Amino acid sequence: QQILACFDIVPDIVLKREGSSLLEFTVGCRQQLEIVMENQPWSAVIVQGDTESAFQGALAAFYNRVPVAHVEAGLRTYNLERPFPEEGIRQMISRVTRFHFPPTTRSREALQTEGIADKSIFMTGNTVVDAQKWTCAHRGIQRRIEGRGHLLVTAHRRENWGNDLAEICHAIAQIAGQQPDLQVLFPVHLNPVVKGPVNSILKGIPNVTLTAPLNYTEMQQALADAWLVLTDSGGLQEEAPTFGVPVLVLRDETERPEAVDSGCALLIGPTREAIVSSVTRLSTDVAAYQKMSQAGNPFGDGTASKKIVHALEKLLAPELVALAAEVSAEVPA
């Protein structure tokens, strides 16, 4: 619950994680959500993203005939294997959603192409940018180091497990050896499938720091202090541009092509050669680095949450919105 604490949010209902496999988690989550749905009548269920818990929340609402509102809707690769299982999950969520909140023009167009009515689609930007701006303002996140900054690395996706993860780690080791003045920060996922090869290949290299996973505030500070981000994460593709930090995406496909199109990210894949050459180029080509750094964030301006709330007020309680407007009109300026 550390991320909720960052925003001073105290949950009324806490679901327990049950089991370690995807099936066990799904069953446990679904059973708990059904109890929640039965406790009282709900006007809507809001789900965010493409996690299994989001899918189960949407499904529980659908089975109980409660409208589903999907935040971060319309992200697509149309390859069910990449990313897995997120691509399949978000497509299934869209099928049972009534109110869709895509962050960008491209995600909105994906929903339209799939036959979803325009009246159900509301482009808002991504709430991740709202969260960043709030955190910077309320938790004192700002660049704290002088000079170049570190190379921030994360790698955890299922499709990169095995040989691809080893390639990524060997590339980092090579870069660290070639650039001994470059500090590498690698928060390592706790999954043994990730932790094992990362420690085996990178542990003991003087300018590579391996840490436990960072909490939300720590990660935002790490981004603020970064020179470059090397990641297979979807969220970091959205977050790094807020701080003007270029992103090299360790995947063959991304559901966030806006980052690539705008110039703040490059899709390079997980091969050692591509990683080393891309990092080396940005180390030596100042103009190329500055172009990426100054591209801006294509995922929103920090007002997505307000747009979502406004839309839901109009959709779920139009009579209350109309009444509030009447009262406001009667109050003298």
Q: What is the pLDDT of residues 94-120, one digit of tens each?
A: 999 999 999 999 999 999 999 999 999
Q: How far apart are CA 96 and CA 71, in angstroms?
A: 13
Whole-number Å distance between alpha carbons of 235 and 83: 13
176 and 288 part of one domain: yes
Residue 158 in tokens? 């299922």
Q: Are residues 60 and 13 in the same domain?
A: yes
pLDDT band, residue 146 (cuts 50/70/90) = confident
User: Within this chain, do residues 151 and 41 fall inside the same structural domain, yes or no?
Assistant: no
Q: Please indicate, yes or no, if residue 204 is contained in any of the structural domains.
A: yes
Instruction: With respect to residue 307, please indicate whether it lies within any of the assigned structural domains.
Output: no
Arithmetic mean of pLDDT, 224-240 = 97
174 and 62 share a domain?
no
253-284 burial string, b = 16+ CB within 10 Å, else e? bbbbbbbbebbbbbbbbbbbebbbebbeebbe
Query: Could you tell me if 147 and 183 lie in one domain?
Result: yes
Asked whether residue 131 is domain-assigned, the answer is no
Per-residue pLDDT tens for 130-144? 999 999 999 999 999
Res 329 pLDDT > 80: no
- Verify that 148 and 287 share a domain, yes or no: yes
The stretch 53-59 carries a mean pLDDT of 98
Neighbouring CB atoms inside 10 A of 209's CB total 13
Q: What is the DSSP letter of 263?
A: T
Q: Is residue 249 part of a domain?
A: yes
How many structural domains is the chain composed of?
Answer: 2
Range of the domain at 281: 143-293
Summarize the confidence of residues 58-72 as an average pLDDT. 97
What mean pLDDT do residues 154-159 have?
92
Closest residue by Cα to residue 156 from 172, 168, 170, 173: 168
Which tokens in the block code for residue 173?
Answer: 């080791």
Kindly state whether residues 197 and 105 are assigned to the same domain.
Answer: no
pLDDT of residue 19: 85
In this structure, are residues 223 and 240 in contact, taking their beta carbons and an 8 Å threshold? yes
Give the end of a domain, one of 93, 125, 157.
125
Q: How confident is the model at residue 145 (pLDDT cuts 50, 70, 90)?
A: confident
Answer with the one of 258, 275, 293 that is the final residue of a domain: 293
| Per-residue pLDDT at 190 | 93
pLDDT, one tens digit per residue, over 198-221 is 999 999 999 999 999 999 999 999
pLDDT at 66 over 80: yes
Q: What's this model's pTM, rounded to 2 decimal places?
A: 0.89
Residues 98, 166, single domain; the answer is no
In a domain, 238, yes or no: yes
Residue 185 has pLDDT above 70, yes or no: yes
Residue 71 placed within a domain = yes
Domain co-membership, 114 together with 66: yes
Nearest to 96 by CA among 76, 70, 124: 70
Q: To the nearest whole percent, how much of the chain has pLDDT over 90?
A: 89
Q: Which of the residues are catalytic? A: 50, 72, 86, 156, 158, 189
- Count of H-run helices and E-run strands, the chain: 15, 9
What pLDDT, on the 0 to 100 scale, is given for residue 300?
A: 95
CA distance to 47, 71, 310, 323, per residue, from 317 (Å)? 19, 19, 10, 10
- Same structural domain, 99 and 188: no
Among the candidates 293, 308, 324, a domain finishes at 293
Same domain for 103 and 155, yes or no, is no
Short-list 39, 87, 84, 76, CA closest to 60 = 39
Rounded distance between C-alpha atoms, residue 19 and residue 307, angstroms = 37
- pLDDT value at 191 more than 70: yes
Amino acid at 211: T
∠ at Cα 99 (303, 38), nearest 5°?
A: 110
331 token code pair = 């109050």
pLDDT at 333 over 50: no
**Phi/psi zone of residue 45: left (φ > 0), alpha (ψ -120 to 50 degrees), beta?**
beta
Judged against a pLDDT cut of 60, whether residue 331 lies above it is answered with: no
- Give the separation between CA 157 and CA 231, rounded to whole angstroms: 10
Q: With 80 as the cut, is the pLDDT of residue 53 above it?
A: yes
Residue 281 pLDDT exceeds 50: yes
Question: Residues 4-26: pLDDT tens digits?
Answer: 999 999 999 999 998 888 899 99
Supply the mean pLDDT for the chain.
94
Picking from 37, 41, 112, 26, the residue whose alpha carbon sits closest to that of residue 73 is: 112
* Averaged pLDDT, 186-201: 96
Does residue 298 have a cis peptide bond before it, meaning omega lies within 30 degrees of 0? no
Tell which residue, 183, 188, 178, has the closest CA to residue 211: 188
Residue 188 falls inside a structural domain: yes
* Judgement on whether residues 104 and 190 belong to the same structural domain of the protein: no
Question: Is 137 part of any domain?
Answer: no
Q: How far apart are CA 282 and CA 245, in angstroms?
A: 12
Q: The domain that contains 18 carries what CATH number?
A: 3.40.50.2000
Q: Which of 180, 171, 137 is nearest to 278 (CA)?
A: 171
